[in-house]
Chains A and B, each alone.
Chain A
Amino acid sequence: MKISPDITFLPKQGHSREEYEDAFAIADETWPRRFAVADGATESAYSRVWANMLVKGYVDVGPDADEIASWMDERRAAWRTFVKAQEQDMPWYSAAKVHEGAHATLLGCTFEADGFWEALSIGDCCLFQLRDSELITTWPFTDADAFTNMPPLLSSQESDKPADVQWMSGSWEAGDRFLLATDAVASFLLSDGRAKRFARPEVNREALIATARAQGAIRNDDCTLLVLTAEAGS
């Protein structure tokens, strides 16, 4: 068995690829297979760096509920090291900004060889699972109206408030498809059976997203969609 990933990502309209602040990571060589997407907050600096630290940290470690607190501490320590290296000769606003920290949402999913999967989410990325072309899991949101401009975020700074981490698990089998999406695509996929359409192997997802964005059906935000297909073979 194997899990084959297919990634589609687009920066905000009017922004360059260097300004794309979502992130994704894939570890599909050995079991357990791990995949993650994240969305760095626009109003913090170096959000892309932080979002990348989170997705890479997720696919490297795959923390469970017992390990998540220490996993976050390690990511924050990495962030402090990064900040220290940047501090020289910064203008006042960059220095202040970097000390405010960066913020991101995160969705990670781990697949075990025995057909078990477990996901964690902080914020408003969404996971969809399809079997025989039917949607069997939509998580953590099931409704496009649930999205707000202020989702829970994972901060690079220590906080008195623990991060709002949610967990989900299930089983997978050959032929299943999983969609991991950051918020703009996720809210779009939640209506009109779009998740099913986007999961089909033959569709050009980038073109569909670009068209939907041009029509105003997807709001102008970074878009990331990771489609995973469970297949027989190695």
Chain B
Amino acid sequence: MAYSAEISRTSPTAILFLLDQSASMQDPFGGAKQKGDAAPSKARVLADTVNKLLQNLILRCAKEDGVRDYFHVGVVGYGQRVQPVVRPAAEYGVTDTLIPISHLADRPLRMEHRVKEVADGSGGTTKRRVQTPVWFDPEAKNGTPMCQALDLAAQSVRDWIDLHPHNYPPIVLNVTDGEATDGDPLRYAQQLRSYATDDGEVLLFNIHLSESEEAAVEFPDAIAEVPPDEHARLLYQMSSTLPFSMRAAAEQEGYRVTLDTRGFVFNADPAALVRFLEIGTRPSTLR
């Protein structure tokens, strides 16, 4: 059965984020703009969300003896440039886009100190200072070179698969608020998804951040569910169906899923973005 390889320190999987950093990411989410709120930009929300997710992924891998490398992780931004935005410390000598997660854990860009209310163990709450790691800051400039980003992702996963041919295949999560400005991304997406390990093809999931107050279309299982919009349908076609473990995670979040459900969300608000990333990074049980 595909997508059933055990994920362990000796058999990690890879998770690669592709983040739109085009100029339009300076705008707030669609609904917020129309209400005239002083809402944060999409770029800010996205950076905060992905930094938080990296933190959670590290915590899933953290044990008393350190961080176990269940995942190799990469974050590529595409806007003014197409490049990795998260890099490990120079002493690791790693130049790959996909980095063992323990290397990220050891060296965030900076630690922010925040005060958090936590349970005090006897029914009340107490304030505790927590350290919050930040790996990258928001950016929003120029066009949307999505094709170049998908091409860089394809090179990265191909190299990674050469070294890990039997592992759970890489997962690529693409977050965008607009149309590609450098060509037809479907071709690049098909190329990326054609790479495979013994356990299955590379998974590509896409999420489109909202421009309007329309409700999000989350995890559709037929193109008829997607708005009759060329861009939306293109992203749907680019997206892989969810493997078993992620269907289970989606069901737990209350979504109705079928074997045809795709890892795709159109017109997402910030909450839908969080759910999408959470479901898309649940490949299977860690061992």
Task: Report the bound CA distance from A1 to B60 in whole Å.
Answer: 47
A95–B8 touching, CB < 8 Å: no
A158–B58 touching, CB < 8 Å: no
Q: Pick the residue among A46, A77, A92, A100 that contacts B131 (CB under 8 A).
A: A92
Q: Which of B82-116 contact A (CB under 8 A)?
A: 105-106, 111
Q: Which of A64-96 contact B (CB under 8 A)?
A: 76-77, 80, 91-96
**Distance (Å) between the CB of B83 and the closest chain A CB?**
26
Q: Pick the residue among B63, B118, B286 that contacts A99 (CB under 8 A).
A: B118
Query: How many residues belonging to A are interface residues under a CB distance threshold of 8 Å?
Result: 24
Write 20 A-B pairs (CB below 8 A) sorted by A numbering. A12-B287, A14-B8, A14-B10, A42-B285, A42-B287, A45-B62, A45-B63, A93-B62, A93-B105, A95-B130, A95-B131, A96-B62, A96-B130, A96-B131, A97-B59, A97-B63, A99-B128, A157-B119, A158-B122, A220-B6
A94–B121 touching, CB < 8 Å: no
A42–B64 touching, CB < 8 Å: no
Q: Which of A31-66 contact B (CB under 8 A)?
A: 42-43, 45-46, 49
The answer to the question of B123 belonging to the interface, with a C-beta cut-off of 8 Å to chain A, is yes
Task: Report the bound CA distance from A12 to B59 in whole Å.
Answer: 21
The answer to the question of A22 belonging to the interface, with a C-beta cut-off of 8 Å to chain B, is no
Return the CB mask of A145-176 against B: 1 if under 8 Å, else 0: 00001000000011000000000000000000
The answer to the question of B202 belonging to the interface, with a C-beta cut-off of 8 Å to chain A, is no
A149–B105 touching, CB < 8 Å: no
Q: Pick the residue among B9, B64, B111 that contacts A94 (CB under 8 A).
A: B64
B105–A221 touching, CB < 8 Å: no
The secondary-structure label for the interface of chain B is: mixed
Select the residue from B133, B286, B287 with max chain A CB neighbours within 10 A. Answer: B287
Q: Pick the residue among B8, B10, B64, B131 that contacts A45 (CB under 8 A).
A: B64
Q: Which of A92-146 contact B (CB under 8 A)?
A: 92-97, 99-100
Chain B residues with Cβ below 8 Å from A45 are 62-64
Chain B residues with Cβ below 8 Å from A46 are 64
Q: Pick the residue among A80, A91, A158, A220 that contacts B123 (CB under 8 A).
A: A158
The answer to the question of B67 belonging to the interface, with a C-beta cut-off of 8 Å to chain A, is yes
**Distance (Å) between the CB of A98 and the closest chain B CB?**
8
Chain A residues with Cβ below 8 Å from B10 are 14
Who on chain B is nearest to A49 by CB? B64
Q: Known interface pairs A45-B62, A158-B119, A158-B123. Does A92 touch B111 (Cβ–Cβ under 8 Å)?
A: yes
Select the residue from A42, A49, A149 with max chain B CB neighbours within 10 A. Answer: A42
Select the residue from A76, A91, A100, A157 with max chain B CB neighbours within 10 A. Answer: A91
**Distance (Å) between the CB of B84 and the closest chain A CB?**
21
Chain A residues with Cβ below 8 Å from B122 are 158
Task: Report the bound CA distance from A119 to B208 in whole Å.
Answer: 52
Who on chain B is nearest to A86 by CB? B64
Q: Pick the residue among A80, A158, A221 that contacts B287 (CB under 8 A).
A: A221
Task: Report the bound CA distance from A207 to B287 in whole Å.
Answer: 22
**Distance (Å) between the CB of A187 and the closest chain B CB?**
14
Task: Report the bound CA distance from A77 to B60 in whole Å.
Answer: 24
Chain B residues with Cβ below 8 Å from A97 are 59, 62-63
Q: Known interface pairs A14-B8, A92-B111, A92-B131. Does A80 touch B62 (Cβ–Cβ under 8 Å)?
A: no
Return the CB mask of B47-63 against A: 1 if under 8 Å, else 0: 00000000100111011
Chain B residues with Cβ below 8 Å from A91 are 105-106
Task: Report the bound CA distance from A12 to B68 in whole Å.
Answer: 15
Q: Known interface pairs A42-B287, A45-B64, A149-B285. Does A158 touch B121 (Cβ–Cβ under 8 Å)?
A: yes
Who on chain A is nearest to B56 by CB? A96
Task: Report the bound CA distance from A220 to B282 in whole Å.
Answer: 19
Return the CB mask of B201-219 against A: 1 if under 8 Å, else 0: 0000000000000000000
Q: Which of B245-287 contact A (CB under 8 A)?
A: 285-287
A100–B59 touching, CB < 8 Å: yes
Chain A residues with Cβ below 8 Å from B119 are 157-158
Q: Known interface pairs A76-B121, A80-B121, A158-B121. Does A93 touch B58 (Cβ–Cβ under 8 Å)?
A: yes
**Distance (Å) between the CB of A113 and the closest chain B CB?**
38
**Distance (Å) between the CB of B53 and the closest chain A CB?**
14
Who on chain A is nearest to B128 by CB? A99
Other A-B pairs beyond A93-B67, A93-B105, A99-B128, 12, CB < 8 Å: A12-B287, A42-B287, A43-B286, A49-B64, A76-B121, A91-B105, A91-B106, A94-B62, A100-B59, A149-B285, A158-B119, A158-B123
